Structure 1
Amino acid sequence: MVLRVGWHREHFLSPLLQLHAAKGGFELVECPGGTGDMQAKLKAGEIDVCIALTDSLIAGIANGQTSYKLIGRYISTPLRWAVITGKDSKYKEFNDLKGTKLGISRLGSGSQVMASVMSLQQGWGPEDQPSFEVKGSFKPLRDSVNSGETSVFLWEWFTTKPYADSGEVRFIGSVYTPWPCWMLAASPSADEQEVKHFLAALGEYTTSFDSKDKRETENVAYVAKTFNQQESDVKEWLSTVAWYHDLAKVESKVVMDTLQTLEKAGVVKAPTTGWNVADFVNESVSTIV
């Protein structure tokens, strides 16, 4: 059976697209709703593997999801989330967002988790916490801030920047993840040998894409064309991001640090026995380091 790999249309996934175009051997399943969409597809048995946001994957397992486990690491740097409002909205700064309704793609998605982290970083009390409105994908989220149905939503900075540049939406600011931002996860029913082969092949492409020579030439043109980005924005983004090369490892510190932040943000609650990293990782595929 061909491995089905869930992905979201973002420039971080360029090495995955290049691997698929060059060698094939697996099926790409686009998930427009981001990580929350991938989690739903894993649960429904519609995909076998995904490359998704670290925080949402870890939060899902911590909150009882059994449809996947972590199998590897992907991006070694933080993610910059834009805080996005409508072009003519009344919201100008973070404190204007206290107690408002925020748009999210899905429950448990990165857009929801990072909204909770934003609240933690801003020091908002219980009375200031925002509520959430599920909107599905990127377009309904943009529509919701312009209609006033929601105050803001959070989405990756460079994916959203063309819409801010065109005047469709407006940025209030940004929030950075306190952890390396992308990991890999797989269904327990996925063929482990196929998963190992996939990780090894993808690692070759992250290594190539991460090289200094490729960053300065080929990467810029590829990302600009594939994701309809300005070359100046691509160059800025490439200066902030790095990929792991040996993917079939899960760093214990990343899992624990993420869990501790998510616990402070009220996204997860530690069991009485404490967290055990092994509960989060398929050790038949990946090594805990």
Structure 2
Amino acid sequence: MKTIKIGGVPEHFNLAWYLTLKNGEYKAQDINLRWEDYHGGTGQMNKALRKGDIDMAVILTEGIIKDIVEGNPSKIVQIFVQSPLIWGIHVAHDSKFKSIDDLKGKRAAISRYGSGSHLMAYINAENNNWNLDEDLKFEVIQDLEGAVKALTNGDADYFMWEKFTTKPLVDDKIFKCVDYCPTPWPCFVIAVRNEFLESNEEDVKTILDIINNTTIEFKDIPSIDKTIANRYNQKLKDVQEWLSLTEWSQDIINETTVNKVQNELMDLDIMKKRKDYNQIVKILK
């Protein structure tokens, strides 16, 4: 049986992977798929792909495109979640900051440089017509737990993370959410290391077939809202709202979208060059 390592964030978006693993669907196809949680998000997964610690990743679109352009030897093989990611913009619950305008020039907590929380801070700044050189400052905090410490202790001023993942922290009056910033493209894609893909393409296609069969019918799974609420410490009404906003995908990311991401990152001056579509995406036949 072939062992294949895949990484992703331990969030509700990836429950379909847990369900298919629990059901033994990969082992039935002679694949020992090993899931690794990456609490540090996209920046941490990019490093793991580069080092060969994982073979595949379920990863933020903008983060992996930037890293592939900058030398990550991987390709995107499919969109995983078609809908945008809704980033909540959070401050400490007792913070004096009450609106997005109050955060201009303040310190953003980011998991890593090149991470989603880093790139989206630029997009948020652009959306609000801030000066990208003067109005953005960063404090690296590694993960969500680090963000809680940084905001609580005053080591950073605001933190951008997926709205529903951080909702329990808002409910518990640790964070306060002052605004939202959705991604202008599909939020999650599946990426595979080139070296692994070249010699294991059929196995990758098998894995995609299995996960796609589950995501197509994900919302129809009986009591899926209650399962998510219990597993991820979410309120049922929040899960139901999230399910209504989230659309999974079984499609290849198209050239227009890849170019849109690259253009945005180039305009924000956080990417210095670009690559052709076929250098970023592998279309599996």
State how many pairs are aligned. 275
Cα distance in 2, alignment partners of residues 233 and 30 from structure 1? 23
Cα distance in 2, alignment partners of residues 81 and 67 from structure 1? 28
The residue number in structure 2 matching 1:195 is: 204
Cα distance in 2, alignment partners of residues 102 and 164 from structure 1? 18
Task: Report 1:14-163 matches (<5 A).
Answer: 14-23=15-24, 24=26, 25-62=32-69, 64-126=70-132, 128-163=134-169
The residue number in structure 2 matching 1:218 is: 223
Cα distance in 1, alignment partners of residues 133 and 267 from structure 2? 16
The residue number in structure 1 matching 2:216 is: 207
Cα distance in 2, alignment partners of residues 4 and 127 from structure 1? 39
Cα distance in 2, alignment partners of residues 37 and 138 from structure 1? 13
Structure 1, unmatched stretches of 5+, are none
Cα distance in 2, alignment partners of residues 126 and 106 from structure 1? 18
Cα distance in 2, alignment partners of residues 8 and 196 from structure 1? 22
TM-score w.r.t. length of structure 1? 0.91
Task: Report 1:173-252 matches (<5 A).
Answer: 173-190=179-196, 191-210=200-219, 213-214=220-221, 217-244=222-249, 246-247=250-251, 249-252=252-255
1:250-273 deviation line (CA, Å, top 9, x unaligned): 2112111111222222221345xx
Tell me how far 1:128 sits from its aligned partner: 3.5
Residue type at the aligned position of 1:163 = L
Cα distance in 2, alignment partners of residues 129 and 279 from structure 1? 34
1:172-192 deviation line (CA, Å, top 9, x unaligned): 111010001110101112222
Identity %: 29
- Would the aligned equivalents of 1:120 and 1:264 in 2 still touch at CA under 8 Å? no
The residue number in structure 1 matching 2:29 is: none
Tell me how far 1:98 sits from its aligned partner: 1.8
Cα distance in 2, alignment partners of residues 130 and 90 from structure 1? 19
1:100-139 deviation line (CA, Å, top 9, x unaligned): 2211111111000100100111111245421211111111
Residue type at the aligned position of 1:253 = T
The residue number in structure 2 matching 1:255 is: 258
Cα RMSD of the aligned pairs, angstroms, is: 1.5
SS of residue in 1 equivalent to 2:119:
helix
Residues 194 and 115 (structure 1 numbering): CA distance in 2 closer, same or farther, change over 3 Å?
A: same
Tell me how far 1:143 sits from its aligned partner: 1.1
Residue type at the aligned position of 1:276 = D
